[in-house]
Amino acid sequence: MRVAIKETRLGLRNSTTRLPFRYGAACLTRCPQAVVRTKIEVDGRLVAGYAGDCLPPSWFDKSPHKDFAQQVDDMLTVIAWAEDAFRGAFSTPTRFFPAWYDALRHVHRRCAERQLPPLLASFGASLLERATIDAICRGCRANFATVVRANQLGIVAGDVHPSLAGLEPRDWLPHAPTTLIYVRHTVGLSDPLTSADVADTERLDDGFPQSLEAYVQRDGLRYFKVKVANDLEHDLPRLRKIAEVVERRRGPEYGVTLDGNEQYRRAVEFDGLVAAIRADPALVTFWKNVIAVEQPLERSIALDEAQTSGVRELSATKPVIIDESDGTLASYPRAIELGYRGVSSKNCKGPVKSLLNAGLTWLANDRGVRADYLMTGEDLCAVGVVPVQSDLCLVATLGLQHIERNGHHYHAGLSYLPLAEQEAALAAHPDLYARQHGVIAPRVVDGKFEIATLQCQGFGFAVEPDMDSMQSRDAWDFASLGVDSY
């Protein structure tokens, strides 16, 4: 299939969390939600495709001298560069893969010239990549998993990673996408752990849980993603309490990923946390159930051989994986060389990258014979409809069994969307959504999301967003968020 991009459009609307989400040095309470639309020409027809994500503080760029307003401005600038790059690469009918590769490299070059992080370049490009893929799927009248397995995107894996030469995604992907996926519940740095931890002045009256304890009880959770802060006096008592809360309900049957969010500037700092956990009798079961350790070291040293001896030692017993360090297509192969044993999948880093990284993981595992290397599904506080459903669709295609999900936890379901879009999402995806406490929100059943209806035409969502209900880049203003530019 050859496609040409005829038009791109960015829409913005604000969202407010029901609970503050503290990760690393940042705390998310309000942010813009961005939706990109591309219109492509396929066989003489114009077809629209969409992609979306939040624009969060201090994740893509953690430069201490940049406040949230500057970070949002940079994100919008890079998205605009990506629009230019994709319109240029797809100005005439062309195959997806080589044009995507050219556009991605163009965005990375522009970011490098402005000294913006590679992760931010990947994000901007990913929005246009996802919207174009959604349009291609709709043009093919097929779902994402089918398009990928048939390689209708024309992915030539060996052009990016020579070790994958002669292979296609169907060689390493499962035969069918998953239709049920376990939720790995995020425990943020300031989340209350028990009902008693919720201060009277902060208690909500929206019917949804606030504490980890209440979520475990209501949703039957069995997987958790726990944030740590590089503060032993804070982290250790909190980990003990998390273990106590979870084990009281689940016994020893649960899984955990530990997320450092780049909080560790020296490997020895994280080694101290690991040693303390291993020495703590109250954390024996907790440590046994740790599936992976995610991005403990800040990205400036995370792929430096001189700084990663601790990673190699720890990965001998617990896989250490990269997330924020996965800024370019070359990041994961470099991480494997240094002793890391896995990588995260996030749509915001690019679905083609996730597909290729899944191939590298499969290859590192002797073509699926072993399971020493792993790929995890992680979240960017994604909310419905477009962001969360396309991300779930990606990991379903990869065959992952659990994924970090926190958008439904920190946000009040789909309430930030126009009512018509909320109702349409419920009608089209009644397995994923339900009416809950007066709002339409994703539902967790026995610790899982049901996602069979995401296998619809397109990239995981049947409901197309109303672009006219959003603000343009020029009309939107940071002051509309009503937050300090921290």
Question: What CATH number corresponds to the domain at position 195?
Answer: 3.20.20.120
In a domain, 24, yes or no: yes
Same domain, yes or no, for 222 and 344? yes
Left if phi > 0, otherwise alpha if psi is -120 to 50, otherwise beta: which for 438?
left
Categorize the per-residue pLDDT at 44 as very low, low, confident or very high, splitting at 50, 70 and 90. confident
| Alpha carbon distance 479, 28 (integer Å) | 16
Average predicted confidence (pLDDT) for the chain: 96
Same domain, yes or no, for 121 and 174? no
In a domain, 394, yes or no: yes
281-323 pLDDT per residue, tens: 999 999 999 999 999 999 999 999 999 998 999 999 999 999 9
Same domain, yes or no, for 194 and 205? yes
Same domain, yes or no, for 183 and 149? no
In a domain, 161, yes or no: yes
| Alpha carbon distance 386, 389 (integer Å) | 6
Domain count, the chain: 2
Same domain, yes or no, for 47 and 179? no
User: What does the angle CA 56 – CA 387 – CA 67 come to, to the nearest 5 degrees?
Assistant: 10
Lowest mean pLDDT among 18-27, 359-368, 467-476: 18-27
Structure tokens given for 151: 């390689």
| Alpha carbon distance 411, 396 (integer Å) | 23
Please give the share of the chain, as a percent, with pLDDT higher than 70.
100
Q: How far is CA 240 from the centre of its chain?
A: 27
pLDDT at 387: 98
399-444 pLDDT per residue, tens: 999 999 999 899 999 999 999 999 999 999 999 999 999 999 999 9
Positive or negative CA dihedral for 294, 305, 157, 7?
A: positive
Structure tokens given for 437: 């406490």
Per-residue pLDDT at 25 exceeds 70: yes
61-117 pLDDT per residue, tens: 999 999 999 999 999 999 999 999 999 999 999 999 999 999 999 999 999 999 999
Same domain, yes or no, for 243 and 321? yes
Per-residue pLDDT at 204 exceeds 60: yes
Same domain, yes or no, for 247 and 144? no
In a domain, 479, yes or no: no
pLDDT at 24: 84
* Of 91, 74, 83, the residue nearest 35 (C-alpha): 83
Same domain, yes or no, for 235 and 288? yes
Same domain, yes or no, for 290 and 362? yes
Same domain, yes or no, for 343 and 431? yes
pLDDT at 486: 53
Helix axis angle, 386-398 relative to 351-364, nearest 10°?
20
Looking at 148, 166, 184, the residue that finishes a domain is 166
Structure tokens given for 216: 């475990």
In a domain, 483, yes or no: no
Per-residue pLDDT at 177 exceeds 60: yes
- Region 40-55: mean pLDDT is 95
pTM attached to this predicted model:
0.97
Per-residue pLDDT at 484 exceeds 80: no
Q: Which residues contact 25 (CB under 8 A, 6 or more apart)?
A: 58, 62, 263
Residue 211, burial from CB neighbour count under 10 angstroms (0-12, 13-18, 19+): middle
- Region 462-477: mean pLDDT is 97
Asked whether 447 and 220 are in contact (CB, 8 A), the reply is yes
In a domain, 245, yes or no: yes
Categorize the per-residue pLDDT at 43 as very low, low, confident or very high, splitting at 50, 70 and 90. confident
Q: Which residues contact 114 (CB under 8 A, 6 or more apart)?
A: none
89: domain CATH number is 3.30.390.10
Same domain, yes or no, for 252 and 387? yes
Per-residue pLDDT at 172 exceeds 80: yes
Per-residue pLDDT at 198 exceeds 70: yes
Looking at 166, 182, 210, the residue that finishes a domain is 166
In a domain, 485, yes or no: no
Same domain, yes or no, for 224 and 350? yes
* Of 23, 20, 68, the residue nearest 294 (C-alpha): 23
| Alpha carbon distance 186, 212 (integer Å) | 9
Q: How far is CA 143 from the centre of its chain?
A: 20
Q: How far is CA 312 from the centre of its chain?
A: 25
Structure tokens given for 475: 């009309």
Residue 409 exposure: Cα atoms within 13 Å on the Cβ side: 30
Structure tokens given for 227: 């944030």
Domain that holds residue 255: 169-469
- Region 193-210: mean pLDDT is 95
Categorize the per-residue pLDDT at 268 as very low, low, confident or very high, splitting at 50, 70 and 90. confident
Per-residue pLDDT at 273 exceeds 70: yes
| Alpha carbon distance 265, 188 (integer Å) | 20
In a domain, 351, yes or no: yes
| Alpha carbon distance 32, 483 (integer Å) | 11
Categorize the per-residue pLDDT at 485 as very low, low, confident or very high, splitting at 50, 70 and 90. low
Looking at 109, 134, 166, the residue that finishes a domain is 166
- Region 112-124: mean pLDDT is 98
